[in-house]
Structure 1
Amino acid sequence: MQKTKLFLKILLSVAFAAALITTVVTTFLVGVVTSESLSAIITGATGHPPEIAILLANIEANIVRNIFWVSLSGLGFCLIALYYLYGNFQIFLPVSILTLISFALIQITLSILPDYMSAGLASSVGPALLQGLERTQFVNYLILIFGLGLLLASLRLKPRT
């Protein structure tokens, strides 16, 4: 039984991290995908000629919103399932640390991304992309607050004995 609980804890923590990253990415895409669809073409750095598309995808705004809400509900499900599995708030300690690590990695990525994109493009970064980056920055600060709240809950709320 203990091994099953440990396996479920690890599985739910990984699902929580995936839902957290998916929430941030879809929040960014909601800001960028303002038209009917966004065409993503990935080329280059693969050995193929640059004009050959390796991956071609049309991303629609309503699909991005649906994925956002599913990932947000996945966050809540993981937290409820972890609490139900262990019955105390101390189980949120690893999840809160994972959330704070995600905040740091996303913050580093957001600080590097505009400079990297400006260097790779002939023109400056467009306003839709900057708006998406600002929205992602706001969500990243919400992740920090959420992670600190989980950390405080896991450290302060003791189980009843």
Structure 2
Amino acid sequence: MKMSLARIWSMYEEETKQNLRQNVLNVEENLKIMEERKKLEKELSNFKLDFANMVAEKEQAISQLGSTQIAMADLMEELEKRKMNDKTVTSIHQVFRAKAEKERDQVMQERDQVIGERDKLKQEKRKLEYMIGDLFKHKEDTKEKIRKLKGMLDDFD
């Protein structure tokens, strides 16, 4: 009888130890997942800051481009006035005008490039927003797994 009780007791202790080992493994795995999530959230936060800075720089470049275009328009207007005042300098004005038009065309091309980059950045922003949504979903899934594990642990107790 004592042998049977001792055997049953040792089986019970072995089962308890095995459950505890499994619980420790589950907790360690959950800890790793939570650390990875925190790391990803930190990286995402840093990326958002970098992205916001880059967008601000691009917007500043666009505003500078706009002021450059205004200055170019003023220069063109002044050039036209000089052309009317002095017909002897017509050829020089034509050179300046051609140069200004060429510079204007370059500015327009640069503006188009900046606008294209801005559109790409907007697309990247949308992608990041989707990634954030996926991370939050993953977070909720992980929380649900933890709740299930906790429920299972509570059932064992």
Band of TM-score, shorter chain:
0.3 to 0.5
Higher helix share: 2
Higher strand share: 1
Higher relative contact order, structure no. (Cα contacts within 8 Å, ≥ 6 residues apart): 1
Please report the TM-score for the alignment, with normalisation by the length of structure 2: 0.38
Please report the TM-score for the alignment, with normalisation by the length of structure 1: 0.37
Larger Cα Rg: Structure 1 or Structure 2? 2
